[in-house]
Amino acid sequence: EDQVTQSPEALRLQEGESSSLNCSYTVSGLRGLFWYRQDPGKGPEFLFTLYSAGEEKEKERLKATLTKKESFLHITAPKPEDSATYLCAVQEGNFNKFYFGSGTKLNVKP
């Protein structure tokens, strides 16, 4: 059973068209939820850590929020350089490993 599910799998936006990416999880005892950005041929780049429901983090055009069962990554007025795959990962309980979702591939057209 997948612990982390991301939707949509792919998202095409026009420059300036705001939208949200979803990450739902089923792990119990969430220790942390992490968002990463991955460009083709590169390693994931850390964006945010969220620890508890209601928490929000912002960075430039990105804003991450967390509820008890899911997280959203809001992209406001995206630019072509925001095009990448966005990965969500969760860490549970006393375990150190991350469970990753399959990612959302974002394409922002000028």
Partner 1 sequence: NAGVMQNPRHLVRRRGQEARLRCSPMKGHSHVYWYRQLPEEGLKFMVYLQKENIIDESGMPKERFSAEFPKEGPSILRIQQVVRGDSAAYFCASSPPYAGGSYEQYFGPGTRLTVT
**Binding interface with partner 1 (CB under 8 A):** 4, 6, 31-32, 34, 36, 42-46, 49, 51, 87, 89, 91, 95-103
Residue 85 Cβ vs partner 1, minimum distance, rounded to whole Å: 9
The amino acid present at 24, given as its one-letter code, is: S
- Residue 32's φ and ψ, nearest 5 degrees, are -170, 150
Between 65 and 86, CB nearer to partner 1: 86
* Residue of 5, 15, 10, 6 lying closest to 75 (CA atoms): 15
Between 13 and 30, CB nearer to partner 1: 30
Q: How many residues does the structure list for the chain?
A: 110
Residue 6 Cβ vs partner 1, minimum distance, rounded to whole Å: 8
| For residue 110, cis peptide bond before it (omega within 30 degrees of 0) | no
DSSP 61: T
Residue 109 Cβ vs partner 1, minimum distance, rounded to whole Å: 21
